[in-house]
Chains A and B, each alone.
Chain A
Amino acid sequence: MRIRRRLVLLALCALLVFGAARAAVFPALETLQAGYEGGQAYHLCLSARVDAWPDLAEQSLAALQSWLEGQRLEVDLRRDGDHRQAAAQWAGDGQVVFTLATDQDPQEAGLILEVPGSLPATRYLGSPAQPPWQALFGSVPQLMDPAAAGQAFTDLCRAALPHLLPMEKPVKTAISIRNAGRGASQLVYALNKEQAQAFWQAAGPDLLPVMDRLLLALAPSRAAALSGSLRALEIRGALNVKRFLDKQGEDLGLQVTATLGLDGATRKLTLFGGRSDSGVYLSFKLPATRGSDTVEAQLSLATKPGSAQGDWKFRTVSGKERLDASGKIALTSVAQAEGERLGGSLSAKIRQAGVTTDYEIVPDLLLTQDRLTGSLRLKELAGKAVRREVSLALEMSPADSVAMPMPLAEVDLLSLDDEARGQAAGRVNTALVPALRSWLAALPGDLRRLVLHDLGRDRRARGEGAVPPVNTEVFTVTEEMSPSTSEEDIP
C-alpha cells in the first residue's frame, strides 16, 4: 500500500505540471487533454517490463518478466461533461484474462467485471459517494484533479469576494512573485477578529460546498474527513486577504493569512502564490501555534513553451509522526518531424519513519496532434540501490467510442447488507485466482515452488497460505487415506 501512495504522490507531480501550466507549454499534450475534455474517446495500449522488484529471487523475476512479455492492457477512455467511461481489457498470449469497465456520472457509478470461465460479466452498481470499486476492492488510490482543483479555487474566490468587497482597499505596493511575475498593485481586505467571524458566519454556507469540491480534487481519499473538520472551523484571529494585480489590473496572485481553530487546535494559515504564463509559485503553511504540528507545501514551477522546470516540497508533522517529501520537475519537449517529443524527469525524495526513499519517473513520449507513443520508466531507489524498476510502453490513439461489455447480471451494492456486500467482494477478489493458478501450474515444478515462496511472503506473515485456498466447500476432499477394510467386507 505504501508504494502505491508514494507513486501516487509522484504521479500528482506530473498532473500538477500538466494541470497548472496555463500557456501552451506542451502544445501537443494539451491538445490531447483538450480532446479528452471535449468528449473525444481514446484507446490506450499498455505493456510492462519489470527489471527490479524487492524480495523476488532471480528466477522468480525472470518468470515474471517472461509472463509479462505476453501481457497487454488495452484501455478505452471517454469523458463527456460529468459522464466518464473507461473500459480495460487485460489479455495475455491471445487470451482475455479479464475485462473491467467503469461508468460514472453525478448520480450513479457502475463497474462491470468479466473473468472468462470464473465470473460472468456482472455489473455492480453504486453511487459517486460509495463507488462500487471501493466496496469490492477496498480503498483505491485516487489521483488529484488539478483542473478541478483550479476551477474550485476560482469558484471559491468568486464566492468569497462579494462578502469582502465592503472591506476592499487599493494599495499601490508592488510585489514580486517567483516565476509568476511582478504585481504592480494590490487590493487588500483586512478584517479584525470580529469582522472575520462575521464574514465566516455570513459566507460560510456558500463557501463550504466549494471548499468540499476543492478538497475532493486535491485529496480525494481524505476529503470526507477534512470536510468534517471544516464544518467545525473557528475564526480565532484577524483575517487578511491581498490580491496582487498586474499592470493591466488582472489578478496575478493572492495572499491569505488567518488564525483558525481546527480540530481543537489553533493554527496560523499562510497562503501565498501567483500564476502567469511564465510559471507558478505556491506556498501553503498551517502550523499549530503550540507544539510542532504543521502542514506545509511549496511549489515553484517555471514554464515556457517546451519546458517546465521547478521543485516542490511537502511536510507534515503530527505528534511524533513526520513526513518530509521534496522533488524536482524537469520536463522538456522538442519539436521533431514526427511530432513533439516529451522527455526529462520527475523525481521525489520521501523521508518517513527514518527511512528515505527516492523515486524517479522518466518519460519518453512522442506526441502528434492526437496520438501518443513512448515509454515511462519508474524507479524506486534506496540509497544507490534500485529496489524497483518498471517500464511501461504506451500507445494512445483516438477511438470511436468506449466499448462497454454487455452484462449478464447486475448487483446493486447499495441495496445489499454488509454480509451480502462482503460476499460479492469475496467472489470478485478470488475471480482471478484460477488464472493465477493456471500460470503457476504452467511453470516447471522447482520454479513454481520458488515463485509461490516469493509471492506468499506477505500472506505467510499474516498466517495465510501462499495462494488463496482452492475452495472452502465442506465436501471437497483433502484427505485420501483409505479406512482399513477386510476381505470379508468386499462383496
Chain B
Amino acid sequence: MKRLIALLLLAATLLAALPALGADYTLDEKLFKQVKDGSGLRITIKTQKSGGDFSLLSPEDNALLRTLLPGAELSIRYLRGVGVLKGQEEMELVLTKNGQAIGEMRLLKDNQFEQLTSAFFGAVRYVDRRDGGALMALLSGEDPTWPPVEGVLLKLNTAESTWQGEVARKLDAYSLKLTLWLQAFTQSQNQYDAQNNPQTRIIIIVPASQLKAQIKQLLVDAYNDTELLALLAREMDARQAAAYLQPSMRDSFFQSLDRLPLTGDMVSERLLNAQGQVVENKLILPLGGARGLNRVLYTHSLRPEGEQTVITLEYAPRNAKNQKGAVTSLVFSGGPVANSHEVTYAGTISLQPEAGGDAFTVDATEGDLPARVYRFSLRYAPAPEAVDQAAGSSTRDIGFTLQVTPQSDTDVKAQLVTGSVNLRSRLNSRSATYFTGFVTWQDEGTQAQVRADITGNTAAPWTIPAVDANGAVRVDGLSAQQLATLSQQVQTILLNALTSTMLRQMMPTESPAP
C-alpha cells in the first residue's frame, strides 16, 4: 500500500489540473456537476436480449444473460449530501423482471454509521461505523485496513464545485514550485526538420533519486500546510484523513519511498515547431512496482496523417526469474473530424503476458509470448446544444460507437457497442437534467444483442433517514478473521440468491398438460 507514493504525486498533479468553476457548461457537464453538488440521481435501465450467444462469453455467462436480461429493469437512486447535508449518503438498487421483484440492495450512510440491507439478507442489517470500510470488505473480500488512494482521487475529483475551486487556488503555489524545480533539469536543443524548418526540443531528465527527494519535499510542504490539510480533510472521509493527512505518517511515507526500487530516470521530451505547436510529446515515468507497474511510457505525436498516441504499461515481473513482466500497449490515432462535431479514434490494444506465466521455473528458450491484439475504432458524436430561449430549455444529443475486433483469436468475433443519449433541461443551473437513451452491445458474428434503455434525471436532495444501529449486526466489532468469514457467507448468500433467481426464471410457468 505504501508503494503508492507515485500515485500520490500523480494525485497532486491531477488536483492541480482541476478546472475552476466556469460560467459556461454543456448539458452533460451540468449533469455531472449537479450530482457532484449534492443533487439526487434517479436512473432506470431496462434490458432486452436477442440473437444467439456472444462469442466473447463462456456458455455459463451466455446462459446468465439469456435468463436475466429479457424484461429486466434496474432502478437506481443515489444521493451524496453536500453543505449542511454533508456526511449523508444513500444508494438504492432495485431489480425487477417482468414486473416482479428480484432483489434490492440499499447502502445508507449518516454522520455516525453506514448500513447495508438487502432483500437477500432478509431482516438482517449490517452496520459499520462511518467510513469503517468493513461493509465494502464484506462485499468484496478486500482488506479494509488501508483506504486505497484511488478512492481518495475519486472523492476529490468528484467533490463539490466550490471546494474544488478553493483547492485549485491553493494548489497554484505547488504548481509554481514544481515548475521552478523542473527548470534545473531542463535542457533545450535547436534542430531542423526534414523541410529545414526550425524546431525546439525541450528535454527534462530527472534522476530517480532527485524525483524521490522532490516527492519528499512536496510531502513536507503539504504536511506543514495546515490550510491545505484542513481543505483536504473536509472532503476525505475519516479513514482516508487518518491514513493520509496525519503529519505523523510523513516519516512512514518517506521510508516507503526510500524502499521503492525506482530505476531509470523520469524523462519528458517535447518537440515544438516554429509556431510553438507540440509536434511530439514523450514521457517516461518510473513507478518502481507501484500497482504492479515498472514504467509507464507515453508518446503523442502530430503527423501529417493525424495525431498518434502510444501508451505502454510495463509491469514488474511476477516470476523472480524473469527479466521482463507483462506489457500492455495502447496505440491510437485520430481526433476531431473536420467540418463536424465528431471525434474519431482508431487503434489497437495489445496485451502481452509475462513469459512463463506464474511458474517458478522458466524455460529460457521460450522468449516473449505472443500478444493478444484487439483493433478498435471509436466514434464520439456530441451534437451542439440546442437552446430554446422562448421555452427556457436546452437539449443535447450525444452518440457513440465502439467496435472492437480481435486480431489473433478466431473464435471471438467483432463486438460493436453503440449508444445514444438525449439530454434536456431548463436553463437554470438548479433545474433538473433529464436524459433518455440506449446502449446496445452486438456480436457481429453471431448477431447476439443486448439492449439497455436508460432514462433518468437529477433531483432535489431528499431526506435520508438516520441509521438505527440497534438490532443490527455490527461489523465494526468483528475481528479480521470473523469479518473474512462473514464476507464469505455474504458472498455465498448473494451467489445462491442469484442462482435461485435464475432457476425460477428458467422453470416453466405452466404445468404441462396431462
Which residues of A approach B to under 8 Å, CB–CB? 94-96, 115-118, 120, 122, 408-412, 427, 430, 433-435, 437-438, 441-442, 468-485, 489-491
**B131 to A, closest residue via Cβ:** A117
* Other 20 A-B pairs with CB < 8 A, given A408-B245, A474-B430, A491-B421: A116-B111, A116-B112, A118-B87, A409-B226, A409-B233, A427-B234, A434-B81, A434-B87, A437-B463, A441-B464, A442-B465, A470-B38, A474-B162, A475-B36, A477-B39, A477-B458, A478-B460, A482-B432, A483-B434, A485-B422
- CB of B316 to closest CB in A, whole Å: 34
> Is B178 located at the chain interface by the 8 A CB criterion?
no
| Total A-B contacts with CB atoms under 8 angstroms apart | 174
B400 vs chain A, min Cβ distance (A): 12
27 residue pairs A–B, Cβ–Cβ below 8 Å: A95-B111, A96-B112, A115-B111, A117-B111, A117-B112, A120-B234, A408-B241, A427-B234, A434-B87, A435-B111, A437-B84, A441-B464, A473-B38, A473-B162, A474-B21, A474-B430, A475-B33, A476-B38, A476-B82, A476-B460, A479-B426, A481-B432, A482-B434, A483-B395, A483-B424, A489-B424, A491-B421
Kindly state whether residue B252 has any CB partner on chain A within 8 Å.
Answer: no
Choose from B40, B241, B429, B459 the contact partner of A475 (Cβ within 8 Å): B429
Structural contact, B84 and A470, CB atoms closer than 8 A: yes
Interface size on B, residues (CB 8 A): 67
Contacts of B376-402 to chain A: CB distance below 8 A: 391-395, 397, 399
Interchain CB contact under 8 A, B111 and A118: yes
Decide if B173 is an interface residue (CB 8 Å cutoff). Answer: no
A483 touches B391 (CB 8 A): yes
B407-441 interface with A by 8 A CB criterion: 420-422, 424-426, 428-432, 434, 436-438
Cβ of B83 within 8 Å of any chain A Cβ, yes or no, is: yes
In the bound complex, residues from chain B placing their C-beta under 8 Å from that of A120 are 233-234, 238, 241
Q: How far apart are the CA atoms of A480 and B39 in the complex, in Å?
A: 11
What B residues does A434 contact at CB under 8 A?
81, 84-88, 111
Output the least CB separation between B447 and chain A (Å).
21
Distance to closest chain B CB from A428 (angstroms) = 12
Question: Across the interface, do A491 and B130 meet the contact criterion of CB distance under 8 Å?
Answer: no
Q: Report if A473-B37 is in contact (Cβ < 8 Å); known contacts: A438-B466, A483-B393.
A: yes
Q: Is the CB of B34 within 8 A of A477?
A: yes
**A427 to B233 CA separation, bound complex (whole angstroms):** 13
Q: Quick check: A477 and B460 within 8 Å, CB to CB?
A: yes
Q: Which residue of the partner chain A has the closest CB to B30?
A: A475
Minimum C-beta distance from A268 to chain B (A): 54
CA distance A332 to B86 in the complex (A): 51
CA distance A475 to B397 in the complex (A): 21
> What is the bound-complex CA distance between A115 and B424, given in angstroms?
39
Instruction: Check if B457 is an interface residue, CB within 8 A of chain A.
Output: yes
| Shortest distance from the beta carbon of B124 to any chain A beta carbon, whole Å | 20
In whole angstroms, how far apart are the Cα atoms of A490 and B463 in the complex? 32
Whether A468 and B84, one on each chain, are in contact in the complex, defined by CB atoms closer than 8 angstroms, is yes
> What is the minimal beta-carbon distance from A467 to any residue of chain B, in angstroms?
8
| Contact B21–A477 (Cβ < 8 Å) | no
> What is the bound-complex CA distance between A427 and B461, given in angstroms?
20
Q: Residue A476 contacts which of B110, B234, B421, B430 (CB distance < 8 angstroms)?
A: B430
Nearest 8 Cβ contacts at the A-B interface: A471-B83, A117-B111, A117-B87, A483-B393, A409-B230, A473-B37, A477-B39, A433-B84
Chain A positions within 8 Å of B443 at CB level: none
Across the two chains, which residue of chain B brings its CB closest to A485?
A: B424
Contact check: which of A408, A441, A477 meets B431 at CB < 8 Å?
A477
Looking at the complex, which one of A470, A483, A485, A491 makes contact with B461 (CB distance below 8 Å)?
A470
B394 CB, nearest partner CB in chain A, Å: 8
**Does B160 sit within 8 A of A, measured CB to CB?**
yes
What separation, in Å, do the CA atoms of A437 and B110 have in the docked complex? Answer: 11
> Looking across the interface, which residue of chain B has its beta carbon closest to that of A121?
B233
Q: Which residues of the partner chain A approach B393 to less than 8 Å between Cβ atoms?
A: 483-484
Interface pair B37/A476, CB less than 8 Å apart: yes
